[in-house]
């Protein structure tokens, strides 16, 4: 497809699909208390469910994202989104905690469409628009992550948590039909076999330091982001606040304001360089955790913190993607794989740590965990050379 002929409506559709599909991985977070009570398990057990979803996403990224380098993107995207519908149905039907754990992991494996689509969009738009378009899709992703909590919090409060997943399955089925109608095909740029493709991921990882830095930064920032959202519902249910999943969901609306700044940071990355923009993002995330550690006993402190946190995570994500998409179309699927693996390994580790830390030290422990992760992210952002972040390193394609 000619990059000059990409209609704005198609990019808007891709952003919408990114939001609706990524939301599946986050519906559970405001509902963890309800899920635990429904299935008769502890807060710590219920709080570990997001970890299995994040592990599933990491596995799905490893197995399926590289295929974007060797197969028609349209077929791959439609196949993955169809499989995702089936996984959502399994979650809705899960009769016990173990079955829900496995269904959540499978749902994660199929929740990779939001990470296939940015790499796909980078193939069909011009170089000068790449940061802006990446920002638009990131807006969809983070709006989906945040508003998923709002929607599931309210639906779960007035019905039950299973209804959330039935509605999600219906939405994804509708998205499948829209994409089948509008999505143009692309031409694969590599003739590697699937086993060689997977083996070459390690080669790309070794040859591209830009990707290593980006994956480490975003894994830490996104892991801290997950720590906040996993612990928020438990924190709001404590005697200090006496609030439920509906209020936890409202914080998603507040945080969505940060997601809508994503295209702005895409433009900053295009003009000032993504390293400058990513430092702004990681710095904002660190400031958010400092604010919440000091003033998180008040709702106003949590509101300010969530605005800064979501702005920072979104800015960092857009800027990191702008960096890695400069590395060449023939390795873009594998570059995306490494980046997404970094994100969700970080998210899975932090999800598990959050459940454990909350059980021991509650909000103060989670705040310390968030500060530690974002301090490391800031350190990594200053460790990278500006020349590498501005695309100065030339890729050595792994074939």
**What integer pLDDT is reported at residue 37 of this predicted model?**
86
Of 2.40.110.10, 3.40.109.10, 1.10.357.10, 1.20.1250.20, which CATH number belongs to 8-389? 1.20.1250.20
* pLDDT confidence tier of residue 398, bands split at 50, 70 and 90: very low
Instruction: Quote the crossing angle between the two packed helices 161-182 and 8-22, to the nearest 10°.
Output: 150
In whole angstroms, what is the distance from residue 54 CA to residue 345 CA? 7
In whole angstroms, what is the distance from residue 45 CA to residue 100 CA? 12
Q: What is the pLDDT of residues 208-239, one digit of tens each?
A: 999 999 999 999 999 999 899 889 888 988 88
Q: Name the 3-class secondary structure at 391.
A: coil
End-to-end CA distance of the chain: 24
More confident residue, 58 or 124: 58
**What integer pLDDT is reported at residue 6 of this predicted model?**
64
CB 269 within 8 A of CB 131: yes
Residue 389 has pLDDT above 50, yes or no: no
In whole angstroms, what is the distance from residue 37 CA to residue 99 CA? 16
Distances (CA, A) of 158 to 3, 74, 180, 245: 46, 38, 34, 10
More confident residue, 121 or 85: 85
Q: Identify the CA nearest to 61 among candidates 76, 41, 50.
A: 76
Q: Which two tokens stand for residue 62?
A: 């490893």
In whole angstroms, what is the distance from residue 73 CA to residue 311 CA? 30
In whole angstroms, what is the distance from residue 216 CA to residue 257 CA? 25
Residue 81 has pLDDT above 70, yes or no: yes
In whole angstroms, what is the distance from residue 219 CA to residue 348 CA? 9
**DSSP readout, 193-205?**
-HHHHHHHHHHHH
Residue 394 has pLDDT above 50, yes or no: no
Q: Which two tokens stand for residue 359?
A: 């059980």
**What integer pLDDT is reported at residue 1 of this predicted model?**
47
Lowest mean pLDDT among 79-88, 179-188, 311-320: 179-188
**What integer pLDDT is reported at residue 147 of this predicted model?**
83
In whole angstroms, what is the distance from residue 270 CA to residue 277 CA? 9
More confident residue, 52 or 122: 52
Q: What does the pLDDT average to over 244-253?
A: 76
């Amino acid at each position: 497809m000619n990059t000059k002929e990409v209609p704005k409506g198609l990019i808007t559709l891709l952003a919408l699909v990114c939001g609706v599909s990524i939301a599946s991985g986050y519906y559970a977070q405001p509902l963890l208390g309800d899920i635990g009570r429904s299935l008769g398990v502890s807060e710590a057990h219920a709080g570990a469910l997001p970890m299995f979803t994040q592990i599933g996403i990491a596995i799905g990224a490893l197995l399926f994202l590289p295929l974007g380098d060797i197969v028609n993107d349209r077929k791959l995207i439609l196949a993955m989104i169809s499989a995702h519908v089936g996984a959502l149905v399994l979650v809705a039907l899960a009769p016990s905690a173990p079955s829900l754990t496995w269904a959540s992991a499978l749902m994660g494996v199929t929740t990779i469409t939001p990470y296939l689509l940015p790499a796909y969009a980078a193939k069909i738009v011009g170089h000068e628009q790449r940061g802006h378009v990446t920002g638009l899709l990131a807006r969809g992703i983070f709006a989906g992550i945040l508003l998923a909590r709002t929607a599931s919090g309210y639906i779960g409060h007035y019905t039950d948590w299973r209804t959330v997943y039935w509605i999600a399955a219906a939405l994804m089925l509708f998205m499948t039909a829209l994409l089948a109608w509008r999505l143009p095909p692309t031409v694969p740029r590599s003739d590697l076999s699937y086993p060689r493709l997977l083996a070459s991921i390690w080669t790309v990882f070794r040859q591209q330091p830009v990707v290593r830095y980006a994956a480490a930064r975003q894994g830490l920032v996104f892991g801290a982001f997950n720590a906040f959202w996993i612990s928020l519902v438990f924190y709001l249910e404590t005697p200090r606040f006496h609030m439920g999943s509906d209020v936890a969901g409202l914080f998603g609306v507040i945080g969505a304001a940060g997601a809508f700044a994503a295209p702005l940071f895409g433009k900053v990355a295009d003009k000032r360089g993504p390293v400058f923009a990513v430092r702004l993002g990681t710095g904002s995330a660190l400031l958010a955790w400092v604010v919440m550690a000091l003033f998180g006993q008040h709702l106003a402190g949590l509101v300010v913190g969530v605005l800064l946190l979501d702005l920072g995570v979104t800015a960092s994500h857009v800027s990191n993607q702008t960096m890695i998409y400069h590395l060449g179309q023939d390795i873009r699927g594998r570059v995306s794989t490494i980046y997404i693996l970094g994100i969700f390994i970080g998210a899975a580790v932090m999800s598990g740590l959050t459940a454990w830390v909350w059980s021991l030290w509650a909000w103060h422990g989670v705040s310390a965990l968030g500060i530690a992760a974002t301090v490391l992210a800031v350190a990594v952002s200053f460790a990278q050379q500006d020349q590498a972040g501005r695309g100065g390193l030339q890729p050595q394609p792994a074939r």
